[in-house]
C-alpha cells in the first residue's frame, strides 16, 4: 500500500489476509473456499444482470409492438368510418353517383382486411415478446437467488474462520451446494 493513499480493510478481509499468510491449514482452506465462493458469486451476479437486461429488452419490444398494433387498429377504425360514409353516400346519392360510393366502400373494406391482418400480427409479436420477457425474468430470479445464497455461504465461511467452528464450515458448504443447484436450474431455464 502506498504512503499517500488511505485504505480500509473490512474485518472479514483482514482476517482472510492473515489466514492466507499463516501456516494454519484450517484457515487456509477457509480462505480458498471463500475465494472460490466469491468467484462463483461473481459469475452468478453477472448472469443475473444479463437475464434481467434480456427481460427488459423483451418487455420494451412488447410495448413497441403493442403501440404498432394500436396504430394499425386506429387506422382500421379510420377506414371503417370512411367505409360507413361511402355506404351512406351510396344510399343517399343519385343512381349514377351511387356506384362510385359503392366501389369506394368496397375498397375501404378490402383495405381494412389488410390492416386487420397487420394489427393481429403485431399483437402476436407483442405476446411472444411478453412470454420471452417473463421467461427471462424467471431465470433472472433463479440467478439472483443463487447469488444471494453464495453470498450467505461466504458470510458463513467468514464466521467459520472467526469462530473456528467446523460445523459452520459444513453448513457453508451446504448453502453453497443449494446455490449451485439454483445456478444449474437457471442454466437449464427451469
Whole-number pLDDT of residue 16: 59
C-alpha cell at 158: 467468514
Please indicate, yes or no, if residue 3 is contained in any of the structural domains.
Answer: no
| HEC profile of 92-118 | HCCHHHHHHHHHHHHHHHHHHHHHHHH
Residue pLDDT, tens place only, 125-178:
999 999 999 999 999 999 999 999 999 999 999 999 899 988 999 999 999 999
Please indicate, yes or no, if residue 135 is contained in any of the structural domains.
Answer: yes
Residue pLDDT, tens place only, 59-72:
999 999 999 999 99
Please indicate, yes or no, if residue 1 is contained in any of the structural domains.
Answer: no
Distance CA 32, CA 34 (A): 5
Distance CA 187, CA 24 (A): 37
Whether residue 7 has pLDDT greater than 70: no
Q: Write out the DSSP string of 56-91.
A: HHHHHHHHHHHHHHHHHHHHHHHHHHHHHHHHHHHH
Whole-number pLDDT of residue 26: 86
Distance CA 167, CA 178 (A): 17
Please indicate, yes or no, if residue 154 is contained in any of the structural domains.
Answer: yes
Handedness of CA 177, 183, 187, 190 (dihedral sign): positive
Residue 183 has phi, psi (to 5 degrees) of -65, -40
Please indicate, yes or no, if residue 106 is contained in any of the structural domains.
Answer: yes
Whole-number pLDDT of residue 80: 95
Whole-number pLDDT of residue 94: 85
Please indicate, yes or no, if residue 113 is contained in any of the structural domains.
Answer: yes
Whether residue 18 has pLDDT greater than 90: no
Distance CA 50, CA 44 (A): 10
* pTM of structure: 0.72
Please indicate, yes or no, if residue 108 is contained in any of the structural domains.
Answer: yes
Count of domains observed in the chain: 1
Q: Element (H or E) spanning 146, and its range?
A: helix 95-163
Q: State the DSSP code for 190.
A: -
C-alpha cell at 79: 377506414
Selected residue with higher pLDDT from 148 and 17: 148
Please indicate, yes or no, if residue 29 is contained in any of the structural domains.
Answer: yes
Residue pLDDT, tens place only, 32-79:
999 999 999 999 999 999 999 999 999 999 999 999 999 999 999 999
Range of the domain at 151: 11-187
Amino acid at each position: 500500500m502506498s504512503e499517500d493513499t488511505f485504505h480500509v480493510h473490512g474485518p472479514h478481509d483482514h482476517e482472510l489476509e492473515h489466514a492466507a499468510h499463516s501456516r494454519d491449514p484450517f484457515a487456509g482452506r477457509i480462505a480458498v473456499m471463500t475465494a472460490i465462493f466469491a468467484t462463483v458469486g461473481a459469475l452468478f451476479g453477472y448472469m443475473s444482470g444479463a437475464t434481467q437486461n434480456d427481460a427488459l429488452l423483451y418487455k420494451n419490444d412488447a410495448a413497441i409492438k403493442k403501440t404498432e398494433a394500436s396504430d394499425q387498429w386506429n387506422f382500421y377504425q379510420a377506414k371503417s368510418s370512411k367505409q360507413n360514409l361511402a355506404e351512406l353516400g351510396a344510399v343517399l346519392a343519385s343512381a349514377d353517383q351511387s356506384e362510385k360510393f359503392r366501389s369506394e366502400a368496397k375498397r375501404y373494406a378490402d383495405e381494412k382486411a389488410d390492416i386487420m391482418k397487420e394489427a393481429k400480427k403485431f399483437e402476436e409479436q407483442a405476446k411472444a415478446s411478453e412470454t420471452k420477457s417473463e421467461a427471462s425474468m424467471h431465470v433472472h430470479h433463479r440467478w439472483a437467488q443463487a447469488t444471494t445464497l453464495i453470498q450467505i455461504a461466504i458470510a458463513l465461511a467468514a464466521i467459520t474462520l472467526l469462530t473456528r467452528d467446523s460445523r459452520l464450515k459444513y453448513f457453508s458448504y451446504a448453502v453453497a451446494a443449494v446455490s449451485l443447484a439454483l445456478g444449474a436450474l437457471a442454466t437449464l431455464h427451469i
